[in-house]
Amino acid sequence: MFVWNARSEKTKIGSMVSAALVSTLVGLAASNLGILLYEAPAYSLVLEFLLPLTIPLLLFRANLHQVVRSTGTLLLVQGRCTTNVRLGSHSLTD
């Protein structure tokens, strides 16, 4: 799988997406198609260790200046909403 992901980044379509994203999508597709059972030990390994590791890998490849410029005020609104939800859920638990 790793070799396939490394080679996919050299293709025209593969250069637009990262190997971490391809791995995540292939794993999700395999689970939804029944190739990988939900209770399979490999599935728990992916969810517990590999999937959390893909998020930083995706962020390493992202150009954060471009993300902030292209999202504009939407990123600010998302941040405010997230903060409000967290504060609201915290006040409900007290």
Q: Is 88 helix (H, G, I), strand (E, B) or coil?
A: helix
Task: Give the pLDDT confidence score for residue 24 in this predicted structure.
Answer: 75
Q: Which range among 5-9, 53-57, 88-92 shows the weakest confidence by mean pLDDT?
A: 5-9
pLDDT of residue 43: 67
pLDDT at 28 over 70: yes
Structural domain spans, the chain: 1-62, 63-94
Examine the pLDDT at 63 and tell me if it is beyond 60: yes
Are the beta carbons of 54 and 24 closer than 8 angstroms? Answer: yes
Cα distance from N-terminal residue to C-terminal residue, the chain = 47
* Residues 94, 90: Cα–Cα separation, whole Å: 7
Residue 9 pLDDT level (bands cut at 50, 70, 90): low
